[in-house]
Chains A and B, each alone.
Chain A
Amino acid sequence: MQFELSPECEAFRREMQAQLRAMVPADMARRTRQRVHPTKDDLKLWNRLLNEKGWAAPHWPQEFGGTGWDPLLVHIFEEECAAADAPFPSYFGLRLVGPLLYTFGSQEHRDRYLPTILSGDIFWCQGFSEPSSGSDLASLRTRAYRDGDEWIVEGGKLWTTEAHFADKMLLLARTNPDVRPQRGGLSMFILDMNAPGVTRRPVITIDEGHSVNEIFFDSVRLPADALLGEEGEGWTYAKFLLAHERITNAHVPRNKRDVRMLRTIASEECDGGQPMVERPDIAEALARLEIDVAALEWSVLRELNQPSGNPAIASGLKILASEIQQRITDLAVDLVGPAGLVFYDEAAIECDDPAGDVADYVPGLAARQLFYRATTIYAGSNEIQRGIIARQAFGY
């Protein structure tokens, strides 16, 4: 063990900080701070701005369009993106489809899709969860039948994030109902969201925002080359992705930014003339969060520097991070007191005179607190993660 950041790392951080802050338009930064769900326009524009610098996918191997930075530099870069209030880039193309294609995809698929993911021209969504299959992916019911060279898809998906932004879906479907999903019953496909037979319905979440959707497939015809990788390998690919997802879902850069913002809010909000940050209970809650975010960061740095390949570690990160995210938003709402009652719709969030006579960081806090109830549910509920840890770490 040897702990020191090289002078190169510090120089890299300073360089990125200066460049990224200059790149994020002020109105985009404000929307990122206030909105629970990013707009499609902001995601597109930020993707394009990053791509112009060659930074759209720093975590990809260089040969496919990555930057060639080591994991620590990627981490520093992402931290500076968050600190500059840049939106977290649309997840599905850059984090799921890209790695899947360069790891398992055909050359033809790579050539066709990777450049449009980097440029942000094509947006993706992830068609895994279904109404009766949340945590239990093996019980998927959506079927893909062979019809000559082509495929026909019947069924539906639920909780499909950003499907209303997406041009393509990464679809997980049953191709062989006679075989267990884990033994080759599932395959992955690239589905065109504008194909005949695809219907999208918004699902409004308890924050009253729209980020997830329900999708229906009514005899959707897929061309032969829609199959991603090998037939029957859907389970293998899904597991590869979920392991990735759990590390990214630690959201260290965002959590660090949010905790810094908490301290700012705590210094500005007053309770009877006294800044909240001086109240002992607030000071303690804030300190505990800062300490827990530090622990989370060092666990992620450890894993990045020396990957354990142990699913128990990734699951532990997901549990800690999701609970921290909830505690951050809980405390943020506590800090603003009765303003936590007010419902701010999207128009109110960008207005200069928000209801309740509050500071401009208030709108969006309560909605975020509500939406973040999902962090302990999505990407494998925390109960599922604890099951994985018990199995992997102890064999139970």
Chain B
Amino acid sequence: MHHFALTEEQRMLRESAVRLFEKTTPKWSDFAEMGWLGLLIDIKRGGIGGTVADAAVLAQAFGHGLVAAPYVTVAGLCAPLLCAAPATETLDGVIAAIAEGTQVVALAAGEAGSHYGLSGHATQAKSLPGGGWHINGAKAIVVDGGQADVFILAASIENERLGLFLIDADMPGISRRTYRTIDRHDACDLKLENVSLPQERLIVEGDLASELLHASVDRANVLLAAEAIGAMEAAMALAAEHIGTREQFGRTLSSYQVLTHRLADMHVRLEHARSMLMRGLAMLEAQPDVRAAAVSATMVHVIEAGEFVCGQAIQLHGGLGMSEESQVGQYYKRLRAIGRTYGDARFHLNRYIAHASADAA
């Protein structure tokens, strides 16, 4: 039996987030204090032990509040990925540090020309005779990587199987180039030249690594979808307020049916996207093919709805919506960024097609 309503805990979670975002520009340490960074970490390992649906409630509030923080990357993607890998002392340390807010972790998977693919990495990990690894290669457009202390690095072991490695940003041989993204997050490129790693820095390899990576990115996608829904709600509310107050040709804009019908279409798209967010959440534990198709179906819907809702929020604001000072444009840019973090609508439509027979069955 599905329950679509928020639980009592989720309502409280949402309200605490809304209150925090109304008050100030929140700091990373605030998120740690509220327990949000450890939401998807087991209680035994220093976290809260919440569900992905709980995290989605929070991500939606981040979207609504337009909070430019790497919350989904760190707490929604990297933390549960590390928790699912075979435990080691090093991993336990990083996981605890995430929950405490003392370390930021980012996923370094993409490379020049890899588009949104998660396999076929040119970055090479070479096994050393006495144990340990040598890593050489380059990573590009690591989302939220500018401030990261630690990276989960995807590399090809001996040119044949995927390995996920844990590397520190300040290790010898690593150079980082940090830059801004369109939505005022940051990203970085990494160069890795003969980076030496101890043996236990390989956290998982082969088919296990591949499945863990895909499952983690799918979870992150659904959380980004939640953030997108929050941003759409806020942008739509701004547009509704604008056309209710702005006058042109001696009438408020809301007296023009073409404009109120546009708002109605935005509402319809948003509600269906919200349903697809819930469907995506429901399918995260399904077997990999089914999950992949379902998450991509969610993303196609949410990304296209986001483009429409936030794009039309700008259109309804007219020139005012084009100003960098106006909030609607910022929501639009966040939606654009979400729609190309782990795949755009075209990518997800093709991915859905590739896995569709599984989803249909």
Contacts and interface: CB of A to CB of B under 8 A. Distances in A.
B117 interface: yes
Interface in A225-241: none
> Would you list the 5 A-B pairs with minimal beta carbon distance, nearest first?
A206-B329, A357-B112, A204-B324, A136-B248, A337-B115
Interface string A357-370: 11000000011011
Interface stretch (B193-201, B230-238, B282-290, B340-348): B340-348
Interface residues of B, number: 53
B120 A272 contact: yes
Interface string A365-378: 01101110110111
Contacts of B333: 206, 370
Given A338-B115, A356-B141, A366-B182, A206 B322 contact: yes
Contact of A272 (B115, B141, B314): B115
A124 B326 CA distance: 27
Contacts of B115: 269-272, 337-338
B353 to A, nearest CB: 9
Interface in B328-355: 329-330, 332-333, 336-337, 340-341, 344, 346-347, 349-350
Interface string A329-363: 00001100111111100001000000111100000
B268 to A, nearest CB: 19
Nearest to B177: A355
A134 B319 contact: yes
Contacts of B311: 373
B140 interface: yes
Interface in A87-122: none
Contacts of A182: none
A203 B323 contact: yes
A279 B351 CA distance: 12
Contacts of B314: 206, 373, 377
B179 A205 contact: no
A148 to B, nearest CB: 34
Given A135-B318, A204-B323, A377-B315, 9 more contacts: A136-B248, A136-B249, A206-B314, A212-B322, A269-B115, A272-B115, A342-B179, A355-B179, A383-B259
Interface in A306-347: 333-334, 337-343
Nearest to B325: A204
Interface string A176-204: 00000000000000000000000000011
A386 interface: yes
A357 B140 contact: yes
